[in-house]
Amino acid sequence: MPTIDTLHELLKHELKDLYSAETQLIEALPKMVDAATNGNLRNALDKHLEVTKTQKERLDKIQQLLGEEKAAPEKKGFFANLFRSNEGEEHCKAMEGLIKEGNSLLGEDMAPEVTDAAIIAAAQKIEHYEISSYGTARAYALQLNLNDVAKLLETTLNEEYDADISLTELALSNVNLAAETEEQSFAKSAKKANPKTVAKTAKKANTKAPSKAVKKAAAKKSLPKKAALKKVKAAVKKSSPKKSVKRKTVKR
């Protein structure tokens, strides 16, 4: 890897990192679209996917302005021609981490409305990273008097701002509210199915006084025992010897 000892080289390094980031994002966005259930959110993500493809092409144009080697016709952009991967020489670890975090969150067991809110959060983290990166690259270009490059970067930067604002409006208009409503509904259902509540109800039912029907049935069940006891007593009485000897009185 060449030494970065000038601002011009640092700008090229930043642009390569952005190229990798956009390549990874183009692969990740369709998964977010599939996971989303809110129609407006799906449309917003679809739209940004197309914008992201244009931004990647814009980076190719910036490369040409910087005098880099042109891409071969069969390759997807000049960075793919210069290096082995279609991402370019640099692999953006920051974007990789953001995408992994988003995929991990989407792997959780969530209600559809909550999933939509989570997708917006993941997408906005990505937007904020890109806003920072494109803003930095634009500042370098301005400092180097690369006005055409700065103008192209500013176009992309404004698109990232627009995407972030669009996601915020979606979250505040109905997505977050739908997620909150779903959470409240889930909490009520969980409370009804709470094991403690069920056990308490069962205990209460077990401590109730027996009904008249239950008492009557129990009395009938105990009758055979009482009858048998009477028979035993009668038999004992019959078999016991009578006192036939009378006490003699002694006369004096």
**33-40 — which CB contacts under 8 Å span 24+ positions?**
35/106, 35/115, 35/119, 36/115, 36/116, 36/119, 37/112, 37/113, 37/115, 37/116, 38/113, 38/116, 38/170, 38/174, 38/175, 38/178, 40/170, 40/174
Question: Which of 63-67, 117-121, 201-205, 233-237 ranks highest by mean pLDDT?
Answer: 117-121
Averaged over 178-199, what is the pLDDT? 60
- Residue bearing the bigger pLDDT, 141 or 209: 141
Sign of CA dihedral 173, 174, 175, 180: positive
Provide the pLDDT for residue 239: 47
Domains and CATH numbers, the chain: 7-196 (1.20.1260.10)
Helices (H), the chain: 7-35, 39-65, 78-82, 93-106, 112-143, 147-170, 176-192, 195-206, 212-239
Provide the pLDDT for residue 28: 96
Residue 243, pLDDT above cutoff 90: no
| pLDDT band at 89; cut points 50, 70, 90 | confident
Provide the pLDDT for residue 193: 52
| pLDDT band at 3; cut points 50, 70, 90 | confident
- Residue bearing the bigger pLDDT, 174 or 226: 174
| pLDDT band at 216; cut points 50, 70, 90 | low
**Helix (H), strand (E), coil (C) string for 161-213:** HHHHHHHHHHHHHHHHHHHHHHHHHHHHHHHHCCHHHHHHHHHHHHCCCCCHH
Provide the pLDDT for residue 67: 80
Residue 206, pLDDT above cutoff 60: no
pTM of the model: 0.67
* Structure-token match 């920072």, residue found: 132
Residue 74, pLDDT above cutoff 50: no
Are 86 and 80 contacting, i.e. CB atoms less than 8 angstroms apart? yes
> In angstroms, rounded to a whole number, what is the distance separating the alpha carbons of residues 166 and 144?
32
Residue 57, pLDDT above cutoff 70: yes
> In angstroms, rounded to a whole number, what is the distance separating the alpha carbons of residues 249 and 252?
10
